[in-house]
Amino acid sequence: MTPTLVFDIETIPDTDGLRTLLDLPAETSAEDVANIALHHRRQQNGSEFLPLHLHRICAISCALREGSHFKVWTLGDTEASEAEIIQRFFDGIEKYTPQIISWNGGGFDLPVLHYRGLIHGINASRYWDMGEDDKDFKWNNYISRYHNRHLDLMDLMAMFNARANAPLDDLAKLCGFPGKLGMDGSKVWDAYKAGGIEDIRNYCETDVANTHLVYLRYQLMRGHLTPAAYEAEIRLVRDTLAGYSAPHWAEFLAAWK
Beta strands 4-13 and 55-66 are antiparallel
The pLDDT value given to residue 230: 98
Mind listing the domains of the chain with CATH numbers? 4-255 (3.30.420.10)
Q: Hey, which residues does 12 pair with through a beta bridge? A: 56
The pLDDT value given to residue 257: 79
The pLDDT value given to residue 87: 98
The pLDDT value given to residue 232: 98
The pLDDT value given to residue 217: 98
DSSP 256: -
The pLDDT value given to residue 107: 97
CA-closest candidate to residue 213, choices 163, 164, 252: 252
Residue 151's H or E segment, with its range, is strand 150-152
pLDDT along the chain (257 residues), means of 10: 96 98 97 96 91 98 97 97 98 97 98 98 97 95 94 97 96 97 89 96 98 98 98 98 98 94
The pLDDT value given to residue 186: 86
The pLDDT value given to residue 45: 87
The pLDDT value given to residue 27: 96
8 Å CB contact between 205 and 9: no
This prediction's pTM: 0.96
The pLDDT value given to residue 97: 97
What residues contact residue 25 under an 8 Å CB cut-off, 6+ apart? none
The pLDDT value given to residue 116: 98
What 3-state class would DSSP assign to 11? strand
